[in-house]
Chain A
């Protein structure tokens, strides 16, 4: 009996030793030499692996930058500082990058959006709500208020306000874009930080229904589009801004009856 145990241990140990030495030998022969710059660049990156640059994680981005397939400014999280450091490591020019911030294109919080007759009892998560019933609100397009984006933000730059709408704290926001992916209703979009005209609605219902479901919806009247010289286009009862052609002095913001289109920092239209 004892002999069997000893033999078994010796056999497995021996096999393990043989295979381990085989692998050790193979490792010596097949080791892949990588560019030491990749490691250096990787060290200065934020290492949040958020994917905001479009690469699969920070290491992948570092490889691309060293290969010249991505610009040092490609990391939206690290910002200018990281870009300069990377450029120093590689000995190239930085170029400039405009900070991108997420904009929440729905203003239909608890007090504006009309609720269903039924109540939602279930996990407080936008994904769950979107899957089963669409949550409490009648609007099919607006914010569900479950806070998936707030939870997804790895930098704590989003909060839920009392009206159950998420808000972005732009000073903390790094522009990684994770919140955009977290939203099942696609109401969060990335925009350059200096952009200030937005249609704060995604509702594509006809005017009658959109008026019924929310007091701040874009009802698709098209007043803004008619005066805009192509800066705004009406698609499926919703104003879509074409930022290349937009001239915000031509947009009659005060004519928008629900205040769906707004200029941030400009005149704030009271909601009736």
Chain B
């Protein structure tokens, strides 16, 4: 029950993108096609879960016992950067088109605040390893869902007659705002 709550909280109620406003840049950048949105979501989820595991081990096994908590941020960044590099290699090996579709946003996962936010949150909340993994999974699922919803709306928007001054970025930002508004409906449920 506890784990389910953590998952739902990270995925829906405190959705990383639409409630905490973390990781907005790929949310706007890679959300013009549902297919690449899902792949980006998968890549981010993968990095999130791995980050949750590695940073939990690093923080609670190495940093805390040796009183090195002040190294938290640089060491987490190191973890994330290496993991993103690893994911980039995997994607390049597995799917070249996907690698090109994600483009610059793939290495940009490194500085995605959603991921560092995840690592910092789980150390702050002192989750157990299992809870951390579930937390990372939930956050990744929430991120993927937000990206997918956004991409779906934007694909429809392509076909609609948007007033000229709103075309492109403005309507995208308005859509994102309305989505965030909708997610506010979940606030306080858990």
The interface of chain A, by Cβ under 8 A from chain B, is 7-8, 11-12, 15-16, 19-20, 22-23, 26-27, 30, 32, 56, 60
Contacts and interface: CB of A to CB of B under 8 A. Distances in A.
26 contacts: A7-B66, A8-B68, A8-B70, A11-B62, A11-B68, A11-B71, A11-B75, A12-B78, A15-B58, A15-B75, A15-B78, A15-B79, A19-B78, A19-B79, A19-B81, A22-B82, A23-B82, A23-B85, A23-B86, A23-B89, A27-B89, A30-B89, A30-B92, A32-B92, A32-B93, A60-B100
Main secondary structure of the interface of B (DSSP, over half): helix
Contacts of B96: 32
Interface in B61-82: 62-63, 66, 68, 70-71, 74-75, 78-79, 81-82
A179 B66 CA distance: 62
B65 to A, nearest CB: 12
Interface of B: 58, 62-63, 66, 68, 70-71, 74-75, 78-79, 81-82, 85-86, 89-90, 92-93, 96, 100
Nearest to A22: B82
Contact of B82 (A8, A11, A19, A30): A19
A11 B59 CA distance: 12
A7 B74 CA distance: 14
Instruction: Enumerate the 10 nearest inter-chain pairs by beta-carbon distance, A residue then B residue, closest first.
Output: A19-B82, A30-B89, A30-B93, A15-B78, A26-B86, A23-B85, A32-B92, A26-B89, A32-B93, A15-B75
B94 to A, nearest CB: 9
Contacts of A56: 100
A32 B82 CA distance: 19
A27 B82 CA distance: 12
B13 to A, nearest CB: 34
Contacts of B79: 15, 19
Contacts of A7: 66, 68
A15 B89 CA distance: 20
A8 B72 CA distance: 11
Contacts of B85: 23
Contacts of B93: 30, 32
